Amino acid sequence: MKKARQILVRMVCATLILFALNSLLLPGGNIVHAGPYARDQVSLNGIWNFYPNNGTTRYQINVPSYWDDTNSNNYPADWQNLTYGVYKTNFSVPSSMSGEEIYMDFAGVSSLGALYINGNRVQLPASGNYLMTLLPYDLDITNWVTVGSSNTLELHVYGSASFPADALNAGKPTYPYGTENLTGIGRRGIGGNVSLSSKPKIAVTDVQVITDLKGDTDPSNDVITLKETITNNNSTSQTVTLKNAASLDGGSLEKSWTDQSVTIPANSSVAVSLSNIAWTNAKYWWPSDPKLYNLSTSLVDASSVMVDSLSTSFGFRQFTRVSGANYYTLNGLRANLRGDTLDFLNAGGTSNDLNYTYNLPAGASADQMIKAYIDQAKALNLNVLRFHVRGVLTDEIYTYADHVGMMLIDESPYWQPERLLDYGTASINHAKEWVTQWVKAVKNHPSLIMYSSTNEAWNALDASTLMPNLRTAILAYDTTRPIYNDGQQSNLSIDDEYNFHYTGGYPLGVFNTTNLYGIYSGGTTKPVGEGESLTPSHGYPTISSDGTTVSVLTTAPFGGSPNVISQAQYVKEVGRITRGARYAGVADYRPFFNYEYAFDPIEATIHPVWSDMSASGLKPVSLYRPLINPFDTNYPTVIQGDGYSYYQNSFAPVAAFDKEFDQLNRIGASPTVYTGGNAVNQTVLIYNDELNTGTSVQINWEAGYTDPATSAYTSFASNSFTSAVAYGSTVSQPISFTIPSGITGSKQLQLKLTASKGGVQKFTETNTVGVINAVSAPKIKVTNPTISLGNVTNENVNLHHKIKLVNAGGGLTENWTATGQGGWLNLLSPSGNLRGEQEVYFTIDPAGLTANTPYTKTITFTGNSGSTATATISFTNNVSQSSDLALGKTVTTSSALTSWPGSNLTDGLSTTSWSSQLQTTSAVTEWAVIPFGAATKFDTVVLTPRNDIATNFACCFPIDFQVQGSNDGSSWTTISNQVGFQAPGAGQRASIWVGNQTYAYLRMYVTKTSADNFGSYYVQLGEISVYQNDLALGKTVTTSSALTGWPGSTLTDGDPLTTWSSMKYTTSAVSESASINFGGATAFNTVVLYPRNSSGDTWCFPVDFQIQGSNNGTTWTTLKNITGFTAPGATQRMNFWVGNQSYSYLRVLTTKASADSFGSYYVQMGGLSVYRN
């Protein structure tokens, strides 16, 4: 008898529980013996072969990952525009699966997939045999695989621009594609887990748990319904006993059901419904107390042998729209949704490092990252998140939300479908099939409270054809959740919510409003939702020079223009408008992924270390300036921005807001001036959105004033009261106090509000509600006066870092100047106009600085009113320096002014410059080409601006440009694309890391430039320098063995076409090493291995190996362990991040090798490079 293994299994419908027991006692006292079944699972995640456009060039690709998320995965830049690729791998079906039904599980492919197993196209139950976008599949491949031996898998993945002919109608897709067709967004490839699994011949194949609380909080009338499907893949009819029992998660048995005898015909499925079973003492799932149950469903045959068992997690909860009312209830209590959107759609990454991305990189949607985002959303008091356009694929994330109490809204991929969708019969059928399978996959998660069937579907055919069919398909399987269409704008009768986007104007039309409480309406007979209210996706708001008006939008990001409001001002304004929506009674309010602006970016590139590539979820290689960091303890998890607290309070479930303050707290508003004896009348708005914890809210208030010169505080009035606030409701309570007489000088009037429930403080906020006597003089303050940048390396040397200025005094504006910059510290704005708050950015130029040495500078900001503030900046220089490979090389340019020739770019003098001809606008096509004379390895390009006169430094510096490489001077490959680049300052240089490259030519290709002092447009540069920073280049190599003519020295000669080879082996088991002597302790973090390249073949590359470090060449520490590695393509090199290390020696120790074409085993490599990135 085959023993069941206890293996974690991911299924489309539920999570499995497996038994490794010979017998067990089920409710009812019956002894049931473990049966001859095993629900096994084998992860197929890892490194697969990949062929762009189904060509002959083979690459290595991580599964899962999106191939167009090039920044997160270090994939070739041109893959951002790739719309068709073929994945290939081999897999073995374990002999333990013999006699079982075998399944291939895909958690998500984008946008369309065709699967072949052993050369045969896998037939799907419907959908024209294509895997549809971002949808979980559990495919029965029993008839296509051979158990106990190797099988081939080939998956063709199509972007919408490359859909096959049978997926189109009149040139339009008949399948959903999400946002994949949008430039810079994309998400193409295998984005979800892939695994091989098995089920018994008789199996529980679906379980749906429906809890009905009868719309109240009384458990005595509650009922539960189980809908279960049992499948028999035997050739004869089978009869089994169906058993069900539920236990609290981590607790004891709570409920059992009467056994059911079920007969299933041969090769058929039977649905069993146990309907409206009373459960009078259930414990409810609340966001603040998310109780969960585990339902155990078992099948037992006539011999009391268990033939299958399945565990389904569920919560006892009911989220519903109240008929004829404008609100929802959760477990019978009025519930307001106050949250945001999670958006992981930016496959291309950022275009400018001053900027946040309006969409986070897809690679940031690793399981660990999404969990961290959920945690931070909870910390910010958000109670709901929408997964924008099917942005999350891993079932583990829904389960995590179940456990932590985060409510979710899931959304289909139908975003503005009229852009490409064909509305014919095939398209609608595919749409219905998509949502049906989607709902089946997520239905049992209590955290999931609503379905958004489309996003911004504004075409008439959407309302008449698409949305009704989607709703019908959802309701055919799940009638327990509200269904609506996010941002539909029209009050469709079929929708459970009237949902808007960008009330007041897109994208930031409400920023200037003086009527905070008149922006929104809460509706009357249907819940009103604001699914997206604010976004900087089309520009950032600027503030007028007098500090009074927020108006014109600019593409310049925070800090990219002296007129752009600060990040803190932006997020506080989002919080203020949220307070207006809450006052209006909007049932569902969610700004569009604005809570990211509550955090400052972590000024580093984080390299997660993945010890197991077969584990669940995306595994980004690098995360550039992440907002949340769950990976590297050398950096903080988050950095709270200056607007964090106000934003957090704006979403607090129990809150006490100052109505008059919030009304006047817009950017650019002047404070109210009071004098002694004046009465101050304020209104406290008390909110109670914390459910199931009582309706009595205690309020304490205290009035006082602060001296802006000394920060001394004096309290002069206080009081408290208690209000009864119904769940989901608001109560207004006026308060008043009188300004004391005898106060001299300018003071800031402050009001502190505190709210508590049951003696536990839930909310506190202190605001400056006016000034006493007069507005004080401006006072410059730096809110981050100590800035430690840690190690500055080649990889992060280009980052822009910010100093945050605020006016802690009075007045709307204050001009300032800065001193102390220069040398290695470049302040992008040495002077400015402080309008409330401002971010001033700086960069580091380590040229000429000593390696491994700390440096410190202090910047002093002085205002016109005489106030000063300082920021002290420190870092340790870990940037590798090497000789300039471009120095003295001949330069060819697209144009040049007389006396400004291209040769000035490589003369080594920053005071001479190249200039293009005069242009009429900033849009240009200008370039400079440097021939190296032969194929040359390099990884860094440094641009020195024109710097010939003090008043004209860095003028005409390129804004949009590409760094390109070529081997013939004609065909060019883009190796770095820069958009909106910020010019360095006087005496500074822009260092651009381009990765490990080998080209004979380098070209700087400019498409947008800046103007000189007279408004004339040129492209002007002082120098272009090129560097190679390979720490292993030319170093001595010692190998365990070497064939004659294949010495170890070829590993560090800089030529990937020369090869080291070990001696010959008869099996793959080897023990071979190659060690490099750096000549002293050397800092590094990246090791690059080049395969042998013999006429395009990459024989004998290591399969199992370790990268090790040593300080004496004898005792070795393993830095990275790699097993089962597949050789890269002939022209590829494999980058291994090993963390920040410092050793005198580095070794690659191989224990398993691959064979050559004759079946002989060697260890062979074309090169070994080491970098400190």
In order, the DSSP letters of 723-767 are: EE--TTEEEEEEEEEEPPTT--S-EEEEEEEEEEETTEEEEEEEE
658, two tokens? 């100052």
At 123, is the secondary structure helix, strand, or coil?
coil
Nearest alpha carbon to residue 256 among 227, 295, 308, 221 = 295
What average pLDDT score do residues 211-233 get? 97
Per-residue pLDDT at 557: 64
Q: Residue 852 — very low, low, confident or very high, per pLDDT cuts 50/70/90?
A: confident
Q: Which amino acid is at 1068?
A: S
Higher pLDDT, 940 or 876: 876
What average pLDDT score do residues 677-684 get? 98
Full DSSP string of 658-703: EHHHHHH-STTPPPPEE-TT-EEEEEEEEEE--TTS-SEEEEEEEE
Q: Which amino acid is at 1104?
A: D
Roughly what angle, to the nearest 10 degrees, separates helices 395-404 and 425-442?
50
Measured distance CA(581)–CA(196) in Å, rounded = 48
Per-residue pLDDT at 345: 64
What is the CATH number for 756? 2.60.40.10
Higher pLDDT, 799 or 1094: 799
> How does pLDDT run across 419-450, given as a tens digit for each residue?
888 899 999 999 999 999 999 999 999 999 99
What average pLDDT score do residues 949-962 get? 72
Higher pLDDT, 603 or 38: 603
Q: Residue 193 — very low, low, confident or very high, per pLDDT cuts 50/70/90?
A: very high
Asked if 618 contacts 365 with a C-beta cutoff of 8 angstroms, the reply is: yes
Is residue 985 predicted with pLDDT exceeding 60? no
* Residues contacting residue 681 through CB under 8 Å, at least 6 positions apart: 660, 734, 735, 736
Among 2-6, 600-604, 1051-1055, the least confident range:
2-6
856, two tokens? 């410190």
Longest dimension (CA), the chain: 99
Measured distance CA(980)–CA(785) in Å, rounded = 28
What average pLDDT score do residues 703-709 get? 95
968, two tokens? 């013939």
Specify if 778 maps to a domain: no
Please indicate, yes or no, whether residues 964 and 939 belong to a single structural domain of this protein.
yes
Specify if 17 maps to a domain: no
Please indicate, yes or no, whether residues 573 and 663 belong to a single structural domain of this protein.
no
Please indicate, yes or no, whether residues 681 and 768 belong to a single structural domain of this protein.
yes
Q: Facing residues of 46 across strands?
A: 63
Is residue 451 predicted with pLDDT exceeding 60? yes
Specify if 1 maps to a domain: no
Higher pLDDT, 359 or 471: 471
Peptide bond before residue 622 is cis, with ω within 30 degrees of 0: no
Per-residue pLDDT at 729: 97
Measured distance CA(376)–CA(370) in Å, rounded = 10
Specify if 677 maps to a domain: yes
Per-residue pLDDT at 1030: 84
Q: Which amino acid is at 1015?
A: G
* Residues contacting residue 165 through CB under 8 Å, at least 6 positions apart: none
482, two tokens? 């509200």
Is residue 227 predicted with pLDDT exceeding 90? yes
Asked if 6 contacts 24 with a C-beta cutoff of 8 angstroms, the reply is: no
Per-residue pLDDT at 1133: 66
Is residue 285 predicted with pLDDT exceeding 80? yes
Please indicate, yes or no, whether residues 397 and 280 belong to a single structural domain of this protein.
no
Per-residue pLDDT at 559: 62
Full DSSP string of 146-176: -BTSEEEEEEEEE-GGG--GGGEETTEESS-
Measured distance CA(1004)–CA(1007) in Å, rounded = 10
Residues 662, 666, 668, CA angle at the centre, nearest 5°?
145
Among 637-651, 854-868, 1146-1160, the least confident range:
1146-1160
Specify if 777 maps to a domain: no
Per-residue pLDDT at 1003: 97
What average pLDDT score do residues 1008-1033 get? 88
Q: Residue 770 — very low, low, confident or very high, per pLDDT cuts 50/70/90?
A: very high
What's the number of domains the chain is made of?
Answer: 7
Among 324-333, 768-777, 789-798, the least confident range:
789-798
| b/e per residue 380-396 (b: at least 16 CB within 10 A) | bbbbbbbbbbbbbbbbb
1121-1125: list long-range contacts, CB under 8 Å, 24+ apart. 1121/611, 1123/1152, 1124/46, 1125/47, 1125/1101
Mean pLDDT of the chain: 88
Peptide bond before residue 136 is cis, with ω within 30 degrees of 0: no
Full DSSP string of 897-964: -TT--GGGGGSS-TTS-EE---BSSSEEEEEEEEEEEEEEEEEEEEEEEP-SSGGGTTTT-EEEEEEE
Please indicate, yes or no, whether residues 672 and 718 belong to a single structural domain of this protein.
yes
Asked if 383 contacts 287 with a C-beta cutoff of 8 angstroms, the reply is: yes
At residue 847, φ and ψ (nearest 5 deg) are -55, 125
Measured distance CA(100)–CA(147) in Å, rounded = 10
Q: How many residues does the chain have?
A: 1173
Q: Facing residues of 760 across strands?
A: 757
Asked if 66 contacts 189 with a C-beta cutoff of 8 angstroms, the reply is: yes
What is the CATH number for 512? 3.20.20.80
* Residues contacting residue 438 through CB under 8 Å, at least 6 positions apart: 135, 390, 410, 412
Is residue 551 predicted with pLDDT exceeding 60? yes
Asked if 134 contacts 173 with a C-beta cutoff of 8 angstroms, the reply is: no
Among 251-255, 624-628, 835-839, the least confident range:
624-628
Please indicate, yes or no, whether residues 168 and 83 belong to a single structural domain of this protein.
yes
At residue 171, φ and ψ (nearest 5 deg) are 85, -5
538, two tokens? 């089309």
Specify if 128 maps to a domain: yes
Measured distance CA(408)–CA(341) in Å, rounded = 10
At 71, is the secondary structure helix, strand, or coil?
helix
- Residue that terminates a domain, selected from 877, 906, 936: 877
At 83, is the secondary structure helix, strand, or coil?
coil
What is the CATH number for 802? 2.60.40
Measured distance CA(1101)–CA(929) in Å, rounded = 36
> How does pLDDT run across 248-277, given as a tens digit for each residue?
998 899 999 999 999 999 999 999 999 999
* Residues contacting residue 1150 through CB under 8 Å, at least 6 positions apart: 1062, 1070, 1071, 1072, 1073, 1102, 1103, 1104, 1105, 1163
Please indicate, yes or no, whether residues 359 and 410 belong to a single structural domain of this protein.
yes
Please indicate, yes or no, whether residues 724 and 847 belong to a single structural domain of this protein.
no
- Residue that terminates a domain, selected from 153, 175, 199: 199
Please indicate, yes or no, whether residues 482 and 394 belong to a single structural domain of this protein.
yes
What average pLDDT score do residues 366-389 get? 94
Tell me what percent of the residues of the chain surpass a pLDDT of 90: 65
Q: Residue 29 — very low, low, confident or very high, per pLDDT cuts 50/70/90?
A: very low
What average pLDDT score do residues 524-535 get? 92
* Residues contacting residue 896 through CB under 8 Å, at least 6 positions apart: 902, 914, 915, 916, 917
Specify if 237 maps to a domain: yes
Among 268-277, 755-764, 798-807, the least confident range:
798-807
Nearest alpha carbon to residue 637 among 400, 405, 396, 376 = 376
Q: What is the DSSP letter of 463?
A: I
Out of 4-8, 603-607, 897-901, 981-985, give the one with best mean pLDDT: 897-901
Please indicate, yes or no, whether residues 226 and 242 belong to a single structural domain of this protein.
yes
* Residues contacting residue 793 through CB under 8 Å, at least 6 positions apart: 878, 879, 1085, 1172, 1173
Q: Residue 10 — very low, low, confident or very high, per pLDDT cuts 50/70/90?
A: very low
| b/e per residue 486-525 (b: at least 16 CB within 10 A) | bbbeeebeebbbbbbbbbbeebbebbbbeebeebbebbee
At 1014, is the secondary structure helix, strand, or coil?
coil
Per-residue pLDDT at 880: 66
Please indicate, yes or no, whether residues 636 and 682 belong to a single structural domain of this protein.
no
What SS3 string covers 512-542? CCCCHHHCCCCCCCCCEEEEECCCCCCCEEE
Higher pLDDT, 244 or 633: 244
Roughly what angle, to the nearest 10 degrees, separates helices 395-404 and 367-379?
30
Please indicate, yes or no, whether residues 572 and 625 belong to a single structural domain of this protein.
yes
From edge to edge, which strands make up the β-sheet containing 194-199?
Answer: 41-43, 194-199, 101-106, 137-140
Per-residue pLDDT at 513: 83
- Residue that terminates a domain, selected from 616, 631, 646: 646
Is residue 406 predicted with pLDDT exceeding 60? yes
Nearest alpha carbon to residue 282 among 272, 295, 273 = 295
259, two tokens? 């056994």
Q: Which domain holds residue 853?
A: 788-833+840-877
Is residue 1097 predicted with pLDDT exceeding 90? no
Measured distance CA(79)–CA(67) in Å, rounded = 6
Specify if 1017 maps to a domain: yes
Per-residue pLDDT at 651: 98
What average pLDDT score do residues 693-719 get? 96
Measured distance CA(603)–CA(599) in Å, rounded = 12
**Plot region of 728 (φ>0 → left; ψ -120 to 50 → alpha; else → beta):** left
